[in-house]
Chains A and B, each alone.
Chain A
Amino acid sequence: NAGVMQNPRHLVRRRGQEARLRCSPMKGHSHVYWYRQLPEEGLKFMVYLQKENIIDESGMPKERFSAEFPKEGPSILRIQQVVRGDSAAYFCASSPETRRSYEQYFGPGTRLTVT
């Protein structure tokens, strides 16, 4: 059973460009979470999605950031007009619908560098 997959693993963008980060949850998992880890900081919750639904986006910056989890395909975190402060590691996690404790399995992360 493959784990959570994220791509790309490393992404370099110039200021003003768009960044697209992809996450494929573990097989059988229908809940996806995105977290951001800024340099020298802890992980911060960004958004929680189920298929075709955004459940909680309270951690998403108000502008430039969006996320989706379509019926088919991976979840996408999109950052428009990136700035240097967006440089961070972005982790995706998934959990199965039936797990009461929602223990989450994390992907390897995408390291975004904005130059």
Chain B
Amino acid sequence: RKEVEQDPGPFNVPEGATVAFNCTYSNSASQSFFWYRQDCRKEPKLLMSVYSSGNEDGRFTAQLNRASQYISLLIRDSKLSDSATYLCVVDLRAGGTSYGKLTFGQGTILTVHP
């Protein structure tokens, strides 16, 4: 089983649509969770951190369910510029010390069309 597993995608949606991505992780010791965005094989860029209480940043909402080891990202009112690969990322920790060894999911490709 992969450590971080995402919806395979790809997702093709029209502008203005709402789209949701799901992600599961296998290591219950995981402490920090993120969504990154990667454009055309460029470097990944942090989109948002994910907290148990859920968090929102404009059109983007992230949720974490520790009991189910499940993370989600919701994008409302999709824009053409949202087209990218979305990476679910987990920070594993050893012995209570965070050392930032990020584990990436395979990524989900989103294409927003006019």
Contacts and interface: CB of A to CB of B under 8 A. Distances in A.
A57 to B, nearest CB: 11
By secondary structure, the B interface counts as: strand
Interface centre among B98, B99, B100, B101 (most CB of A within 10 A): B100
Interface centre among B34, B49, B102, B106 (most CB of A within 10 A): B102
Nearest to A101: B32
Interface stretch (A14-22, A38-46, A67-75, A79-87): A38-46
A115 B91 CA distance: 35
B101 A106 contact: no
A113 interface: no
A33 B43 contact: no
Nearest to A40: B106
Given A43-B104, A103-B34, A109-B43, A48 B99 contact: yes
Nearest to B94: A56
Given A42-B87, A42-B107, A43-B87, A104 B102 contact: yes
Nearest to B91: A102
A45 B103 contact: yes
Interface string B28-70: 0000101000000111111001000000000000000000000
Interface of A: 31, 33, 35, 37, 41-45, 48, 55-56, 58, 89, 91, 93, 95, 100-109
